[in-house]
């Protein structure tokens, strides 16, 4: 099926629907699909990477490379749940362009500032493509499964037993700010990818690593007894690790929730069920307000940055997939996803004079609180969140992710990514853009770690 054509959407907009936002009946799949198509159209209008002279897989400033990786993951979910293939070519082109040169999502243009989490978001997108049987790239290009395996193998090599008894550092290279920080999102990418590779391939090397990462998070205090997932921990100059940064972000809860659901799915194991239930309970308590998803740490005082604005959309996607992998969670998760989709329909009602090129009256605001009253915060993250919200309820009656045994066709390579990792500074002279990039990294670090605490103080 192809999506609702923009002309059709435009016609309905002209019929006066705009004031209500994107009309959606959350109990009707065709209504959800139509709404999602309108929001997806607005989202892909931000993407210029496939224009002549631009770089496939990149979003224009101010959006980071990892956000683009996450956006294409959202577009794969969109295709899988709606069967609208309008954006598949652009999506495949982006993944191949960013994945092909190094075969591990470490393209030279990005490596100087690339963290384990940045690489992980692209790898999770490739993993999603494998699980959903997204059209495979030509056989002379790296395949989705092999790309995810490459990143897994590199994470294994970067696992650092010297400090904090294990864990991945946030940064890959020592010259980047945040190299002395071990954070839940980087380790969450490792955990999530390992758990999914375990489910997809049946190879226990992956599930052993998933268990090891999860238990390290618990041991070091980044996952608490009540399944709070904290932001990260600093490696002090004496090599001890203390001072857990207790900021909690919805994507950290989501990434561990979804990984745990994969581990539970493989085994039906009671320990994984307990972990899954614990994170789900904590998620419901912390990231749901007025019945809908929200970003507890920064949404109410409107201080979320571009990165943080996208987190709850990932949570929505991971919650939706959790209902497929652990069907017993459906009764608890689906009502939240439906209420969120309904509020998002109202929130996607903006016509800002700038910053949005989709159809008038369909720009998504960021907050879904206040019954989705449009808050004027538009951009890729808000639009991506809106899309994630619209498609999430479709998972209830949707297909389940495939595995090698149930029809997955992506070709793997268990040894991918095992080449030597070179210092990017030696490979390429420092360019103006890199300097700017490094500055951005410092900025994110400040906001993610110190800034988080500052909100609490002020």
Ligand X SMILES: *[C@@H]1O[C@H](CO)[C@@H](O)[C@H](O)[C@H]1NC(C)=O
Judged by CB under 6 A, the residue of 97, 103, 286, 411 near ligand X is 97
Does the footprint of ligand X cover residue 98 (CB under 6 A)?
yes
**Token reading at 204:** 């226990």
x/- contact string, 119-158, with ligand X (CB under 6 A)? ----------------------------------------
Distance between CA atoms of residues 220 and 210, nearest Å: 16
Using an 8 Å Cβ cutoff, are 115 and 172 in contact? Answer: yes
Of residues 80 and 181, the one with the C-beta less far from ligand X: 80
First to last CA, the chain: 51
From residue 200, alpha-carbon distances to 132, 147, 277 in Å are: 11, 14, 22
Residues 40-59 that bind ligand X (CB under 6 A): 44, 50-51, 55
Candidates 20-28, 32-40, 94-102, 359-367 — which segment interacts with ligand X by CB under 6 A? 94-102
Dihedral angle of Cα 70, 72, 76, 77, to the nearest 10 degrees: 40
Does the footprint of ligand X cover residue 202 (CB under 6 A)?
no
Please provide the DSSP assignment of 409-455 as one string.
Answer: -PPP-TTTT-S----HHHHS---HHHHHHHHHHHHHHIIIIIIHHHH
Distance between CA atoms of residues 279 and 15, nearest Å: 44
CB of 64 to ligand X, least distance (A): 13
Does the footprint of ligand X cover residue 107 (CB under 6 A)?
yes
Does the footprint of ligand X cover residue 286 (CB under 6 A)?
no
Secondary structure E strands in 137-261: 181-183, 232-235, 241-245
Does the footprint of ligand X cover residue 72 (CB under 6 A)?
no
Judged by CB under 6 A, the residue of 414, 419, 421, 455 near ligand X is 414
Of residues 31 and 88, the one with the C-beta less far from ligand X: 88
Judged by CB under 6 A, the residue of 141, 246, 351, 400 near ligand X is 400
CB of 415 to ligand X, least distance (A): 7
Does the footprint of ligand X cover residue 373 (CB under 6 A)?
no
Percentages of the chain per state (helix, strand, coil), in multiples of 5: 55, 5, 40
Using an 8 Å Cβ cutoff, are 128 and 79 in contact? Answer: no
Does the footprint of ligand X cover residue 326 (CB under 6 A)?
yes
Distance between CA atoms of residues 360 and 18, nearest Å: 7
Angle in degrees, CA 31, 338, 313, rounded to 5? 95
CB of 107 to ligand X, least distance (A): 4
Does the footprint of ligand X cover residue 265 (CB under 6 A)?
yes
Does the footprint of ligand X cover residue 419 (CB under 6 A)?
no
CB of 51 to ligand X, least distance (A): 5
Distance between CA atoms of residues 280 and 275, nearest Å: 8
**Token reading at 66:** 């990892």
Q: Measured over all CA atoms, what is the biggest interatomic distance in the chain, rounded to whole angstroms?
A: 67
CB of 287 to ligand X, least distance (A): 23
Using an 8 Å Cβ cutoff, are 204 and 195 in contact? Answer: no
CB of 167 to ligand X, least distance (A): 20
Distance between CA atoms of residues 162 and 191, nearest Å: 20
Look up tokens 């090397």; give the residue. Answer: 205
Does the footprint of ligand X cover residue 439 (CB under 6 A)?
no
The 8-class DSSP code of residue 396 comes to: G
CB of 453 to ligand X, least distance (A): 35
Does the footprint of ligand X cover residue 452 (CB under 6 A)?
no
From residue 239, alpha-carbon distances to 162, 163, 181, 301 in Å are: 8, 6, 11, 36
Does the footprint of ligand X cover residue 270 (CB under 6 A)?
no
Candidates 93-101, 210-218, 333-341, 370-378 — which segment interacts with ligand X by CB under 6 A? 93-101
CB of 150 to ligand X, least distance (A): 10
> Nearest-CB residue to ligand X?
400
Secondary structure E strands in 249-347: 288-289, 292-293
CB of 203 to ligand X, least distance (A): 4
CB of 299 to ligand X, least distance (A): 30
Distance between CA atoms of residues 452 and 246, nearest Å: 9
Does the footprint of ligand X cover residue 212 (CB under 6 A)?
no
Does the footprint of ligand X cover residue 327 (CB under 6 A)?
yes
Kindly list the residues in this chain that would bind ligand X in the complex (CB under 6 A): 44, 50-51, 55, 87, 90, 97-98, 101, 107, 109, 203, 205, 265, 268, 324-327, 400, 414
């Amino acid at each position: 099926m192809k999506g609702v054509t923009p002309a059709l959407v435009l016609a309905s907009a002209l019929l006066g629907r705009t004031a209500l936002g994107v009309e959606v009946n959350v109990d009707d799949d065709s209504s959800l699909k139509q709404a999602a198509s309108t929001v997806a159209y607005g989202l892909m209008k931000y993407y210029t990477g496939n224009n002549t002279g631009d770089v496939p897989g990149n979003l224009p400033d101010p959006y980071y490379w990892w956000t683009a990786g996450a956006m294409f993951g959202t577009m794969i979910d969109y295709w899988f749940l709606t069967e609208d293939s309008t954006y598949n070519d652009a999506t495949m082109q982006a993944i191949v362009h960013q994945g092909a040169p190094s075969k591990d999502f470490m393209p030279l243009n990005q490596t100087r500032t690339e963290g384990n989490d940045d690489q992980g978001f692209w790898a999770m997108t490739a993993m999603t493509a494998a699980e959903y049987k997204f059209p495979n790239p030509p056989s002379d290009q790296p395949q989705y499964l092999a790309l995810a395996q490459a990143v897994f193998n590199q994470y294994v090599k970067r696992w650092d037993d010297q400090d904090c008894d294990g864990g991945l550092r946030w940064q890959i290279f020592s010259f980047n700010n945040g190299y002395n920080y071990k954070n839940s999102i980087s380790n969450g990418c490792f955990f999530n990818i390992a758990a999914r590779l375990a489910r997809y391939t049946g190879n226990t090397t992956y599930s052993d690593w998933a268990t090891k990462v999860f238990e390290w998070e618990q041991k070091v205090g980044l996952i608490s007894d009540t399944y709070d997932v904290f932001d990260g921990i600093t490696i002090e100059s004496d090599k001890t690790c203390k001072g857990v940064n207790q900021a909690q972000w919805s994507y950290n809860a989501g990434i561990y929730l979804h990984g745990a659901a994969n581990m539970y799915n493989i085994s039906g194991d009671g320990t994984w069920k307990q972990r899954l239930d614990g994170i789900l309970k904590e998620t419901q308590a912390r990231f749901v307000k007025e019945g809908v998803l929200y970003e507890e740490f920064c949404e109410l005082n409107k201080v979320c940055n571009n990165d943080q604005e996208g987190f709850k959309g990932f949570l929505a996607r991971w919650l939706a997939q959790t209902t497929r992998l652990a069907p017993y969670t459906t009764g608890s998760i689906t009502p939240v996803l439906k209420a969120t989709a309904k509020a998002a329909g109202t929130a996607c009602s903006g016509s800002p004079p700038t910053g949005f090129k989709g159809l008038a009256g369909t720009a998504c605001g960021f907050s879904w609180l206040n019954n989705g009253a449009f808050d004027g915060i538009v951009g890729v993250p808000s639009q991506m969140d809106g899309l994630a919200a619209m498609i999430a309820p479709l998972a209830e009656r949707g297909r389940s992710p495939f595995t090698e045994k149930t029809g997955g066709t992506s070709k793997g390579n268990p040894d991918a990514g095992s080449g030597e990792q070179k210092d990017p500074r030696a490979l390429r002279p420092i360019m103006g853009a890199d300097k700017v990039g490094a500055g951005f990294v410092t900025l994110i670090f400040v906001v993610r770690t110190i800034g988080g605490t500052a909100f609490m103080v002020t």
